[in-house]
Structure 1
Amino acid sequence: MGRPDFESLDVYRLAESLANEVWQVVKHWDIFAKDTVGKQIVRSADSICANIAEGRGRYNFKDNQRFIKIARGSLYETISWLRLAYARQLINSEQSLKLKQIIDELSPKLNAYLRSLDNR
């Protein structure tokens, strides 16, 4: 079995970058923040790239579409958690901007990837 091809997808690499950036931020929070918001945001961010990978591995366009839609839902969930983290002063403006830049690039690419699957 060869190397999985999902790793070559820009959309996957962006999702992985977002998940790793979220991890780097959350690992410095106090126990209460990690246990409440932290676990949720890490799971939702990790879910984006995990669902892109799983969908790609299905080799069926309908299944792949379903997983990309789940990834998009996880992206929206991550955005919601980031908004709450910012409002609760768990992330600062610089961290927020860095994460927003990734999201601003990831969101349209995720939608474009989903559309490309619709056209097959």
Structure 2
Amino acid sequence: MGSKYFRELRVYQLAEKLADEIWQIVNDWDMFAKNTIGIQIVRSADSIGANIAEGVGRGSYQDDKRFIRIARGSLNETQHWLRRAYTRRLLTLEQIDRLKLMINDLAPQLNSYLNSIGKNTK
């Protein structure tokens, strides 16, 4: 694997930032919203960074790539739950705009990281 530890990876840091932002938002919701959409969106957002970390720790490029693909799936799931939350008036337009900026930064970083795995074997 690469010489960088997963916490130093920009893609991991972006995933953490998105997950923490979503946690802060969901934390203010009422119990019904937390117990339905809230749990789902927090889990899917947390899964992005968790899969990046697990992939790095697996010790093979193939496993790392597989877990980055899973992280991309978790990002897509997070976007689904964000759309549901907005439609159900749990998110403001300002919150959506802020989260969209983070996602628009994170998504290409996941793809770039996936494409870079195994290329720098120094």
TM superposition score normalised by structure 2: 0.92
Separation in structure 2 between the aligned mates of residue 28 and residue 99 of structure 1, nearest angstrom:
16
Unaligned runs of 5+ in 2: none
Alpha-carbon distance in 1 for matches of 2:88, 2:117:
38
Residues 28-78 of structure 1 deviation map (CA, whole Å, 9 limit, x = unaligned): 000000000000000000000000001011121000001000000000000
Instruction: Determine the structure 1 residue equivalent to 2:86.
Output: 86
Q: CA deviation at 1:119?
A: 4.3
1:62-117 Cα distance to aligned partner (Å, 9 max, x none) = 00001000000000000010011011100001111111000000000001111112
- Runs of 4 or more off by more than 4 Å in structure 1? none
How far 1:118 moved relative to its partner?
Answer: 6.1
Identify the residue that residue 62 of structure 2 maps to in structure 1.
Answer: 62
Alpha-carbon distance in 1 for matches of 2:118, 2:60: 12
The whole-number CA distance in structure 2 between the counterparts of 1:98 and 1:23 is: 14
2:55 aligned partner, one-letter code: G
Q: Aligned partner of 2:32: which letter?
A: F
- Residue 25 (structure 2) aligns with: 25
Question: Which structure 1 segments of 5+ residues have no match?
Answer: none
User: Equivalent residue of 1:75, what SS?
Assistant: helix
Q: CA RMSD in A?
A: 1.2
